[in-house]
Amino acid sequence: MNFYRKHAIITGGSSGIGKATAKLLASLGANISIIARTQTVLEAAKVEIETLCSHAEQRIIAIPADVADQTQAEQAINAAIHQIGPPDLLITSAGMAHPGYFQELPVEIFQSTMAINYFGSLYCIKAALPAMEQRGQGHIVMISSGAGLVGIYGYTPYSPTKFALRGLAESLRGELKAAGIGVSIVYPPDTDTPQLEQENKTKPLETKMITSTAKTWSAESVASQIVQGIHKKSFSITPGVEMTLLAKLHSLLSPGLSWYFDKIIAKARSEKALFKNLDVA
């Protein structure tokens, strides 16, 4: 896809992977609509993105909305279309993660995570599709996670939402292909973003030990892989060798990964027990 003068709508576009992708697309000449909840953060991101525009006619707009709310999501997409025009590209990057021990987490955490990560994507896709279908073109990109390929200890509220996105993307791919609309799903590894920083505040020791075995990517590096994947019309976008192998072989690798994770979890529990005994002593 040639991004020059194309219209990209990006949810979660005020930070992390969403903002990094918006900045890269702006540098390639795209018009950008970013959607996120906090007006001040949105406006700051808009200024950053504008500095990278490659031509004077480019438009960058910021629309405050909570995509977990269907009405707000629909209104935000419609506002973007009204101001700039039909979307050539929709990237659903808005998301949240609150790791913790299953029994200790309130049900509300599970509900809000599904509302933002899954339904927040679904609402925006439903709202943007008519304009894409009318022109018989467009591309939808959903941001899943490595945790959408294999369940990870401590991520019981998060992994199921990212698995759900995978199911939505796989189901939509064939349905929308006939309409001339492409679908991609991205499986980023751990990425250095404000969301990861927030996750680390509640992440169990066992989860930290599991996730520390993999490289943490920059948001800019993941954004580059996303844009390359869109250009190639790839369905599955997997930054790095680990995610590529996991995406292709996750069913075969699952028993081995479970054994490996169990070893890490046992080690973490032994360390916690040791520290507890030392504290008592």
Whether 6 is catalytic: no
CA dihedral 16, 224, 179, 61 (to 10 degrees): 50
Catalytic residue among 118, 155, 158, 187: 158
Rounded CA-CA distance 142/183 in Å is 8
Catalytic residue among 19, 46, 162, 203: 162
List the beta bridge partners of residue 184. Answer: 141
Rounded CA-CA distance 102/110 in Å is 10
* φ, ψ for residue 59, nearest 5 deg: -120, 135
Whether 4 is catalytic: no
Catalytic residue among 144, 145, 159, 236: 144
Contacts 24+ apart (CB under 8 A), 251-257: 253/150, 254/150, 257/150
Name the residue among 197, 278, 188, 198 with its Cα closest to residue 239.
188
Per-residue DSSP letters for 162-197?
Answer: HHHHHHHHHHHHHHHHTTTEEEEEE---SEESHHHH
Rg (CA), the chain: 19
Whether 144 is catalytic: yes
3-state secondary structure of 129: helix
DSSP 216: P
Between 39-50 and 16-27, two packed helices, what is the crossing angle to 10 degrees? Answer: 30
Q: Which residues are catalytic?
A: 144, 158, 162
